[in-house]
Amino acid sequence: MIRAFLEKRRVRRVFEKFVDSKHVETLLRDGIERQPLKQGHIEFVLAFVRGESPAKVAEQVGRIADLAVTHGATIHSLTGSLAIVAFGTHPALSSEPDSRLRLVQALRQQLAEDVKIVHGAATGHCGLFGSEKCMSYTFLVPQFDRVLGALSRLEFGESKEFTP
């Protein structure tokens, strides 16, 4: 009981900085209602960087994140040396027709021989994936395993457009 009280108090403190307190109380009372997955056109970019040190990799992943935001992408994952970003997955963000291609070009210019990139577009699904204990807002596109395979086969400095 005390643990639940302390957890609610912690959540309240964090969220009240960003969300109206009445919405925070509703969330704490009712929990998160999982919405159905949304189907639509999704453009994705997977970028994998190398660096001679963890600090260099962290710097390069930070560059990818900054460029992704600048180009209107949603960052779905920054995991070690891998960044996964997408266009068309966040309802409040709209992108211009060539945003993905401009992002890939900017990544290649700024990271040159230290990045390999697979990008593409497909009809996919986005929404909350996971369980009540661990959930993430992310996306699913057909043949994602092949996207990862294509990325692993590239050499640094290369990029490839994947068409499922």
149 and 117 share one domain:
yes
Question: Per the structure, how many domains does the chain have?
Answer: 2
60 and 128 share one domain:
yes
Identify the residue with better confidence: 105 or 95.
105
Identify the residue with better confidence: 50 or 18.
50
138 and 91 share one domain:
yes
Mean pLDDT over residues 11-36, rounded?
A: 69
Q: Which long-range contacts (CB under 8 A, 24 or more apart) does 37-40 make?
A: 37/125, 37/126, 37/127, 37/140, 38/91, 38/125, 38/126, 38/127, 39/123, 39/124, 39/125, 40/88, 40/123, 40/124, 40/126
90 and 154 share one domain:
yes
**Both structure tokens of 109:** 């210019």
87 and 16 share one domain:
no
pLDDT for res 59: 96
118 and 88 share one domain:
yes
1 and 47 share one domain:
no
27 and 42 share one domain:
no
54 and 114 share one domain:
yes
Structure confidence by residue, pLDDT tens digits, 75-85: 999 999 999 99
pLDDT for res 85: 97
43 and 82 share one domain:
yes
54 and 107 share one domain:
yes
pLDDT for res 79: 95
pLDDT for res 65: 97
11 and 80 share one domain:
no
The listed range with the strongest mean pLDDT (1-10, 17-26, 49-58, 93-102) is 49-58
Q: Domain of residue 146: give its range.
A: 38-162
Mean pLDDT over residues 109-122, rounded?
A: 97
- Domain at 88, CATH number: 3.30.70.1230
Does the structure show a pLDDT above 80 at 1?
no
pLDDT for res 10: 74
pLDDT for res 31: 64
pTM: 0.80
Structure confidence by residue, pLDDT tens digits, 120-155: 999 999 998 888 778 888 999 999 999 999 999 999
Q: What distances in angstroms separate CA 71 from CA 89, 95, 137, one per listed residue?
A: 14, 8, 20
